[in-house]
Structure 1
Amino acid sequence: VRGGEVQVRSYPSSFRGDYSTSGYEYFESLALADHAEEVGMELVKLMDAERCPSGEMDLILTGDQLALQIHESCGHPTELDRVMGTEADMAGTSFLTPDKLGRFMYGSKNVNLVADATVPGGLGTFGYDDEGVKAKRVYLVKEGLFVGYQTSRETAAALNLKESSGGMRADSPLSLPIIRMTNINLLPGGWKAEEIVEDTRDGILMMTNRSWSIDDKRINFQFGTEVGWRIKDGSREALVKNPTYMGVTPRFWGSCDAVSGDDWRMWGTPSCGKGIPGQVMYVGHGCGTARFRRTRVGLI
């Protein structure tokens, strides 16, 4: 805090950290002490850093921010109860009407999204959902094409789908099961994270979520992160503070031209809210680093 300005820097992620269905080995893998000095120095530098520039440029998101982007703009809109209007109170409905299934380009060919309740370490990993459906891995988006919803037995039957996606869960024995995300993952691409930076001529890299907002159809969104780096000619030129970006869901994912594989990992979200009365559920998101061309960043 300085002169009324507040900056924050978190590791490994913001808003209560990160979570995994693992043991003490996961805590050890975070190597908290090894990162303490670096994270602390970044926080000090943020106080004197330039503000995030405004305009259109290439945007690189690291996994800790990309996980929330997936959650809000891919996870929630593919929940079929939102599409059918039986869930709207918390976080709204969805723009993904049934006529789009198998026809609508959700993103570029680089975008492959799955709902996977079987991935080791995922916070949304389990054996069977609360309707007795065995945990499974189903595609939501394949090479950019929207190909699947997250469903229950009832909603799957309403669309004449073969079976439920296996995501019906309740947060306690006193709650009714509703469609919940499992682990919504952006599958690894062929890039290395550092190669994406080196291939970017004019852009900005953003890391670690600080704020978010998205409309009740899951189309228009705005995110802020704790820290950003201005990228020039393939190098990190300078730290920038208060970085923000905004977009329209299908345009944003359609601009994705690079997805990494070397830094792919699972991120855990312990407090996904949904329903009235409200329920809170554990969900996960697997991703690495990705680049989005000509994205609006900074203040309008």
Structure 2
Amino acid sequence: MDTEGSVISQTVLHSGAGISATSLLSGEVQTRSFPSSFRGDHKAGGFEVIRAMNLLENAERIASEAVQLHKAKSLEDCRMDIILGGSQLALQVHESCGHAVELDRVLGYEANFAGTSFLTLDKWKNYRYGSEKVHLVQDGTTDMGLGTARYDDEGVPSCRSDLVKNGEFVGYLKGRDSARFEDGTSNGASRAQGWKNVPIVRMTNIHLLPGQETLDQLISSTKRGILLADNSSWSIDDKRWNFQFGCEIGWMIENGKITDMVKNPTYTGITPEFWAGCSGVSDAKEWKVWGTPNCGKGQPMQTIRVGHGVSWAKFEQVRVGVSS
């Protein structure tokens, strides 16, 4: 209940799980995870979410890949096309888009802790964030999304709105207080960890909408590149401008075919340059919502749960290398 007269009670059920296999050989440690690294995958739902993961069916494959990584080659420092999907692309969206469009960050409210954003007010509807293939939205109504609710914690109904459309930056995540700096209307993105916390601008579900290609087409159109999977490390500056990600595993692509396994791959980039290089996004058949159960922000710290829908995407001439 709030001073505006809102009396709202919402009940949500979240479930998640994951497995990992770790191999140690001659002092080298390699890990493979399924369906995602770190905390697995999470969705709004009950035990049917766990059953659908087919954890046992994938356990042997994951263990085998962890062992195979010891013999895999390392990636040379160079530039090449990369293909991202699954939880790694979800994390890319989370870090380089989701946080960057939080309007309170833009206004400096988080500058002493979580940072600011390169997407300053003068760039609203006046800035190219990525290629025409890039369409990013926030959607607090997504089926099974961790960031889904009927209302946010200011009593505003959840909705869907564009953040980046055809590569152009068009909207922020905002609450009722910060919305006046954009178009005056909250998009239901003011959330609190609990009853004793002050609502602040947070992600709901942030999605990269599907395109027209298939994963097979993205691979076959790549002369020399790499397909990367499952995060092992990440780093991004406080403006969400310069980033580096490490992955558990990669597979080289040569003349449109998957070839050798690669261990400890990394990639790095500048956010708008990286998304400007997006040359293809796979279709709705390969699109899936992933869950992030531990997004932290604020002082005192508030941890909330958010969702990210992605398929597969290809990015051209990205700087890649190997983690130390």
Tell me which of the two structures has the higher relative contact order, counting C-alpha pairs closer than 8 angstroms and 6 or more residues apart: 1
Distance 2:111 2:306 in 1: 19
Distance apart, 1:68 and its partner CA = 0.3
Give 2:250's aligned residue: 228
CA displacement 1:55-81 (0-9 Å, x = unmatched) = 000010122100000000000010000
Match of 2:98, SS state, is helix
The corresponding residue for 1:288 is 311
Letter paired with 1:249: T
Match of 1:36 among 43, 51, 59: 59
SS for the counterpart of 1:153 is coil
1:299 CA drift (Å):
4.8
68, 73, 78: which one pairs with 1:55? 78
Give the drift of 1:88: 2.2
Distance 1:90 1:194, change over 3 A: farther
CA distance in 1, matches of 2:111, 2:195: 23
Q: CA deviation at 1:53?
A: 2.1
Report SS of the residue matched to 2:280: strand
Rounded to whole Å, the distance in 2 between the matches of 1:254 and 1:26 is 35
* 2:264 and 2:322 in contact (8 A); partners too: no
* Shift of residue 54, structure 1, vs aligned partner: 1.6
Q: TM-score, normalised by structure 2?
A: 0.90
How is 1:113-192 mapped onto 2 (pairs within 5 angstroms)?
113-159=136-182, 161-192=183-214
**Do 2:74 and 2:322's aligned partners in 1 also have CA atoms closer than 8 Å?**
no
| Compared CA separation, residues 295 and 259, structure 1 to 2 (3 A) | same
Paired AA for residue 147 in structure 1: V
Given the alignment, which residue of 275, 279, 291 partners 1:257?
Answer: 279
Secondary structure at the counterpart of residue 53 of structure 1: coil
Which letter does structure 1 place at the counterpart of 2:122? D
Partner secondary structure for residue 271 of structure 1: strand
Over the aligned positions, Cα root-mean-square deviation in angstroms equals 1.1
Runs of 4+ in 1 over 3 A off after TM superposition: none
Mapped to 2, the partners of 1:92 and 1:2 lie a distance apart of 40
Matched residue type, 1:279? Q
Q: Where does residue 4 of structure 2 map in the other structure?
A: none
Distance 1:236 1:158 in 2: 48
Matched, 1:239 2:261: yes
**220, 224, 247: which is aligned to 1:202?**
224
Q: CA deviation at 1:158?
A: 3.0
Residue 33 of structure 1 and its aligned partner are, at CA, apart by 1.7
Letter in structure 1 aligned against 2:74: R
Corresponding residue for residue 214 of structure 1: 236
Quick one: distance in 2 between partners of 1:191 and 1:89? 42
Higher strand share: 2
Partners of 1:99 and 1:33 in 2: CA distance? 51
Offset from partner CA, 1:88-129 (integer Å, 9 cap, x none): 233311011111011100000000000000010100000000
Question: Is residue 86 of structure 1 aligned with residue 144 of structure 2?
Answer: no
Q: Is the 8 A contact 1:89 1:276 kept in 2?
A: no
Q: Deviations over 1:238-260 (max 9, x none)?
A: 00000000000000000001101
Task: Indicate the larger mover: 9-18 or 161-170.
Answer: 161-170
Residue aligned with 2:117, SS: coil
Q: Which residue identity is paired with 2:282?
A: S
Match among 52, 56, 67 for residue 90 of structure 2 = 67
Match of 2:8 in 1: none
Amino acid at match of 1:266: V
Q: TM-score, normalised by structure 1?
A: 0.98
- Partner amino acid for 1:151? K
Structure 1: 5+ residue stretches without partners = none
Q: Does structure 2 retain, via aligned residues, the 8 Å contact 1:90–1:273?
A: no
Secondary structure (helix, strand or coil) at the match of 1:10 reads strand
C-alpha contact 1:8 1:43 (8 A) present in aligned 2: yes
- Provide the residue aligned with 1:274 in structure 2: 297
